[in-house]
Amino acid sequence: MKYVINRLIQLIPVLIGITFLSFAMMRIAGSDAITEMYAEKGAVSAEIINAKRAELGLDKPFLEQYFIWLGGLVTGDMGTSYVSGKDVFDTFISKLPATILLTVLSVLLTIIISIPLGIFAAVHHDRFTDYFLRFFSFIGNSMPNFFIALLLMQLLAIKLGVLPVISNGTSVVSAIMPTLTLAIAMSSKYMRQVRATVLEELNKDYVLGATARGVRSSVILWKSVIKASMLTIITLLALSIGSLLGGTAIIESIFMWDGVGKLAVDAITMRDYPMIQAYVVWMAIIYVMVNLVTDLLYHLLDPRIRLGVSE
């Protein structure tokens, strides 16, 4: 518990620094929410623009704006959207279920695909099945997400007509194509990394010694090699969960999946500062918690870390 508290205290300056930098970068972006708001309404008098800017507090000095926002954040008030006029926290929370559903489905499918295939490729390294899997993982890793999304839309939605082209609400059926898109890209990358990790363990002396003593290969693999490889696998999954919970903006926009990634893209386009800041804080908290959980799992799984031994 003491370790967890110390880690959280150490990460507080990181969170504050991230919010400050993002706040500053948005203010020097070249335009603001008021400019975007009135851009399509033709000529608007300077008095109206200045009055609206004063109403939203955008006429105050930068540091004053930042500390007002930070004080509200600490007390649970993330402000009101400049565009919709709705409460930022309520709006953001309403988008989270869609992102969480997409994250859970994508991670589960990635685990189902990448870990067994990575282990299989390592066990059968330099054979036909290994080359075959590595070839397709290379192809999948080379294709950008948006290209995979367009291919799936063309095949499953337009040609076969088995799935909707764009999302029809937050449902498992609507999540199939974005889930496949994300899982194909992640599985292609992680399968190669799982293969490399398992293969490295298989070439270590303890495996050779166990084999020489007559221990079955399956016992060595599942009771020793996989356990030793879990640190790398957990790290990969933790990074994936962190990025997915932040919302995959391109995929959510392509499939019109109503999650926090699409919300962030819309907010950036409209210079909706309170919404952008809510997203930045959410991303920072995600990665802080992911790093913390990963560190705790490292302590649990690796006795060398608990004892402070490097070798």
Mean pLDDT confidence for 17-32: 72
| pLDDT for 185 | 83
Residue with tokens 């063309």: 154
- Work out the pLDDT band at 3, boundaries 50, 70, 90: low
> pLDDT tens for residues 99-112?
888 888 888 898 89
| pLDDT for 30 | 57
Among 138, 139, 116, smallest CA distance to 226 is for 116
- Mean pLDDT, the chain, integer: 79
- Work out the pLDDT band at 31, boundaries 50, 70, 90: low
pLDDT at 311 over 60: no
- Work out the pLDDT band at 308, boundaries 50, 70, 90: low
> pLDDT tens for residues 88-102?
888 888 888 888 888
pLDDT at 36 over 70: no
pLDDT at 147 over 80: yes
| pLDDT for 310 | 47
> pLDDT tens for residues 248-270?
778 888 888 888 888 888 888 77
Q: Tokens in use for 303?
A: 């006795």
> pLDDT tens for residues 182-223?
888 888 888 888 888 888 888 888 888 888 888 787 788 887
| pLDDT for 230 | 78
What's the CATH number for 88-307?
A: 1.10.3720.10
273 CB neighbour count, 10 Å cutoff: 26
In the chain, where the domains are located = 11-74, 88-307
